[in-house]
A and B are shown apart, each in its own frame.
Chain A
């Protein structure tokens, strides 16, 4: 129980940092902390393979992509929205009510808990072998669809950040490009490779 409390405190603090920190890079690093604590939580839930994947894919690849784009685009310091002050407090109130409602309903359910020994026997420690059996057996269709989705995502990301071939070739030399376009040129190859991750 002590482990869970420590992990919960770390994760909630990191999540609050994502919402409240003004610098986008600080907020992203705060989310990395939350995701790493979540990986440890997966270990306590006997999902060891998922914990490893969470560290490698989420805290590694995805958040590095986020930080890469944040630094590349030099996102300005914005902080919480100021244009509609009423919306801000309404959002906080909604979050408090939602969290309280979910927590209350979770503890309300009086059905008997299963035997932990049986659960851990059936989970096989969340090993890669057991997950592979489910992935290539019961969930084979979902596996194939995710493959199609990833390919579509790669093509879509490259197409979105790519510059039009005609405008790159057809621009007259004398007139020159607008100043803004030159400044954005180095982004194109970098984001092409980043988006295909």
Chain B
């Protein structure tokens, strides 16, 4: 009945790997960004699973872990706002977001 933490962590690893493959494989910058979101959520799943695991040992660890995930969500919202603004600015100049051609974004 009770699913072990290992199963959740393994699922999180699989999702993270799929997202990493997407980052490497997709051509459009906005699709790369979408895959980064997938990787972020895979990491969140691992944190929530570990939070439940450690809640069995420590009274405060579980809720602290879940609160960290809450903060990660807020950071992800800020990241998406800035990232999509950068993509819109790139699209204005180039009408394309092919990451192979974005050499001028370099510092």
Contact = CB atoms under 8 A, between A and B. Distances in A.
Interface of A: 1, 4, 8, 11-12, 15-16, 18-19, 24, 27-28, 31, 34-35, 38, 41-42, 44-47, 49-50, 53-54, 57-58, 61-62, 65-66, 69-70, 72-73, 75-76, 78-83, 87-88, 90-92, 94-96, 98-99, 101-103, 106-107, 109, 113-116, 118-120, 122-124, 126, 130-131, 133-135, 138-139, 142-143, 146, 149-150, 152-154, 156-158, 160-161, 180, 184, 187, 191, 194-197
B74 interface: yes
Contacts of B86: 160
A187 B88 contact: yes
5 contacts: A19-B25, A76-B96, A94-B20, A98-B20, A115-B56
Interface string B52-80: 11111111111110111111011111111
B24 A87 contact: yes
Classify chain B's interface size. Answer: 35 or more
B70 to A, nearest CB: 6
A19 B26 CA distance: 7
A158 B82 CA distance: 9
A57 B73 contact: yes
Interface of B: 1-22, 24-28, 30-31, 34-35, 37-38, 41, 44-45, 48-49, 51-64, 66-71, 73-82, 84-89, 91-92, 95-98, 100
B78 A65 contact: no
A146 B25 contact: no
Contacts of A196: 81
A167 B43 CA distance: 44
Main secondary structure of the interface of B (DSSP, over half): helix
B35 A19 contact: yes
Given A47-B66, A66-B80, A154-B81, A113 B49 contact: no
